Amino acid sequence: MPDPFEHFRGWFAEAEKSEPNDPNAMAAASATADGRPSVRMVLLKEWDERGFVFYTNMESRKGDELNSNPVAALLFHWKSLRRQVRIEGAVEQVSDAEADAYYASRARLSRLGAWASEQSRPLPRRGALLRRVARFEATYLGREVPRPPFWSGYRVVPARFEFWQDMPFRLHDRTVYVRAPEGWDTMKLYP
């Protein structure tokens, strides 16, 4: 039976060896409740058969969109391999335990930055951000920096994968997996 997670595992392992920067970088597309799309680059932090996880401020633009319209599309583009993987599916928030564990693994300054950044809101001057970082640094001086209640992760639960491989003369190879009641249906697409 075809398995898109095994397909991804192989391609991702190759990307980790060949991509010069951030093989885990992916474009994450979301949309407002009325369907207005937006896309940005995020970093894949965890993945398994449950889905693909990234972390963010849940009060950011992407957080607002994912909370009001919990579906997303992801795109990995590995230029050095001439490959891309598209993933589409429903979105769910990770558990508090998962978010806490990942947050604790981050550098201290990144944890302070999560508190200091009012992500996606207007910033009058860069100095305002740096002052907020200093304020939270003083607040948590000599103590662990807890995870903010507005910061967590989202898991995209795949319903569809597309694996695209560049081929000569633009006769690319495209393989699609669509979740079915008993596993995954697979098909090829014209380039």
Decide if 180 is inside a domain.
yes
Domain ranges, residue 60 = 4-106+150-189
**What does the pLDDT profile of the chain (191 residues) look like in tens digits?**
689 999 999 999 999 999 989 999 999 999 999 999 999 999 999 999 999 999 999 999 999 999 999 999 999 999 999 999 999 999 999 999 999 999 999 999 999 999 999 999 999 999 999 999 999 999 999 999 999 999 999 999 999 999 999 999 999 999 999 999 999 999 999 99
Decide if 49 is inside a domain.
yes
Active-site residue, from 125, 126, 143, 170: 170
Decide if 85 is inside a domain.
yes
CB 10 within 8 A of CB 3: no
Decide if 138 is inside a domain.
no
Q: Is 131 a catalytic residue?
A: no
Burial of 36 (C-beta count, 10 Å sphere; 0-12/13-18/19+): exposed
CATH code of the domain covering residue 82: 2.30.110.10
What's the number of domains the chain is made of?
1
